[in-house]
Structure 1
Amino acid sequence: MANTCAWFINLSDDEGAAQAAARQLRPYGLPVKGQRWPQGLSWLAAAQEAAAADAAVIVLIGSAQRFADPGLRRDLALFRLMLHSRAGRPLNGFTLLSGEPPSATGRKTELSVLDDWEPLSGNWPAKLVARAHAPIAPAWPVQLGLHAHERLGVWLETHPHAGGTTDGALVGVSGHGAKIDFHAVGPKGGLPAATDNQYEIKGLQFTAAGTAFEAWGLRNPITPDERYYVRLEGDPDLIALGTLPDGELQDVTLIRLG
């Protein structure tokens, strides 16, 4: 952890707020690095840059209105998942936002990848340093990660029940015409070199919480040290994760990207 840093993401062209926050953090000994978002970068390039800098905690700086933008939140969710996977540990996110967020009327109620990003206040630099060294894992009921390669594509790493063995796994996607076009089972933490897929399901369509999904699944037992990997075509808004006992779809967990 000796070379880790706080990774600042500035949503504004104005550097004033980010520079002021960096000055507040400087006496605490945690270096600050970062980027202006998106600055022509894709979420993939942004995550690669943050991972190369050994980011240990994320601070988002900008307006509450901008942070509420669905497209931005989706990109930040993908950024976060990939950064978690590259680091091999959780990275906590925090916000320093100005202004008021838009009305919550009509906002979605599913779990979100960004639900636990906390607003900073008070003696926030001390909290930031503590979380950089001892992050708190997300309280998601499923395991989520993401691996992206220019040649191999974007892969979601999943386990439908954190800490348990399941009878099969299923992932559905919805939004922006996103689809799944390949899947595999293998050890957690990286794409498997080979897979033995049992009782494959491809292109299953179902509706959950009023949203239409297209899903792929396998009957393979998934142990706590294994993951179900699906390759994404496009960036979905919503992900459904479930199991396939006896080859039948059971209840699914819905998680919003953003």
Structure 2
Amino acid sequence: MKTVWITSLGNNPPRVQAFTGVLKRYGLDVKGHFWTDEAEKMAWRVALDSLVEAKANVWLVLADAEEMAKPTVRYGLSLMAASLREGSGHGFPIVFMWKDKAPAPDTLPPLLRNALHLEEANAAWPAKIVAKANMPGKAEAPEYRLNVAGDEKLGQWFEIGPRAGNWDGVMFGVAGEGAEINFQAVGDANGLPEKTVLEFAQQGMKLQLGETEYTAWAVRNQVGEGQSYYARVKGCPSAILFLQYTESGDGEATVLTLS
């Protein structure tokens, strides 16, 4: 039996029960949780671990405009989506169910735009979720890897690296009030290193991109496809950027708005 993991952004048990009943009638098992808006404590990571442990086939987010207007909610959902796709495949089905009209994609953070956005009023939504559970889509993975690890005690660690080839050093920056990098490391992928040796480490660089200023740290270590750069970040950055290290200032950066 295929499993749908429901994340209810609002504390609305009747809505959850209604969706659970419909999905079960369509032969799907249903598990889930109510969203905890504590992004700095990485509450979303607990939900992700539970989703993976349940061997869910679809992540269904019961969304509404009021909750999605909160930057911390958008931020947590963005990180959960990125980490889920990195761990379970970029074609893993993510579905947003909207009470009213679904928003235009360009009003959402980039990591949430390629989810399937459905509206409750559309009677075809159960069939679409059944299809996603049984035939997950295929999505081309980006050239980079992006994961977020840690917990309330360890802190929030962004993990990035190339999917193939090598990077000759890494620059990583954050933007947004209260967001700051306070540690960096390089080590094997998929796990925080116990020790690290950094080459030509730099801190506190200022990068201007349009009207947004980023504070960046950097290292010159080579990072291959089996290795990662790790940055411990305090707060909830509104956006991040990363790129191969460059002294000329003309490197091509990946920029992701998170909230």
1:39, distance to aligned residue in structure 2 (A): 7.7
Check conservation: 1:50, 1:83, Cα contact below 8 A. Answer: no
SS in 2 for 1:113: helix
Matched, 1:147 2:134: no
| SS of the residue 2:113 aligns to | coil
> Secondary structure of the residue that 1:151 maps to in structure 2?
coil
Q: Does 1:19 align with 2:17?
A: yes
In the other structure, the counterpart of 2:223 is 222
Of the structure 1 ranges 5-14 and 241-250, higher mean CA displacement relative to structure 2 is found in: 241-250
Question: Any unmatched runs of 5+ in structure 1?
Answer: none
Distance 1:207 1:230, change over 3 A: same
Q: Matched residues in 1 for 2:248 and 2:188: separation? A: 22
TM-score (norm 2): 0.81
1:113-152 matches, within 5 Å, as: 113-120=111-118, 122=124, 123-130=127-134, 134=136, 136-137=138-139, 139-152=141-154
Partner Cα distance (1:227, 1:66) in 2: 33
Identical aligned residues as a percent: 27
Q: 1-side partners of 2:19 and 2:59: how far apart?
A: 13
> Please, which of 32, 35, 38 is the counterpart of residue 33 of structure 2?
35
Shift of 1:6: 1.6
Asked whether the 8 Å contact 1:174–1:212 carries over to 2, the reply is yes
The residue number in structure 1 matching 2:4 is 6
Q: CA deviation at 1:26?
A: 2.2
Asked if 1:188 is matched to 2:189, the reply is: yes
1:141 to 1:152, Cα distance in 2 relative to 1, 3 A: same
Q: Deviations over 1:4-38 (max 9, x none)?
A: 73210112333344333323332554421111222
Give the 3-state SS of the residue equivalent to 1:38 in structure 2. Answer: coil
Where does structure 2 lack aligned partners over 5 or more consecutive residues?
Answer: none
Is the 2:182–2:234 contact (alpha carbons within 8 Å) kept by the matching residues of 1? yes
SS of 2:79's equivalent in the other structure is helix
SS in 2 for 1:255: strand
RMSD: 3.0
For the 8 Å contact 2:72–2:236, the answer to whether it is kept is: no
TM-score by structure 1 length? 0.82
What is the alpha-carbon distance in structure 2 between the residues aligned to residue 257 and residue 39 of structure 1?
15
Structure 2 vs 1, CA of residues 22 and 103 (structure 1 numbering), >3 Å: closer, same or farther? closer
Q: Give the aligned partner of residue 244 of structure 1.
A: 245
Residue identity in the other structure for 1:256:
T
User: Offset at 1:63?
Assistant: 1.8
Number of residues paired by the alignment?
A: 249
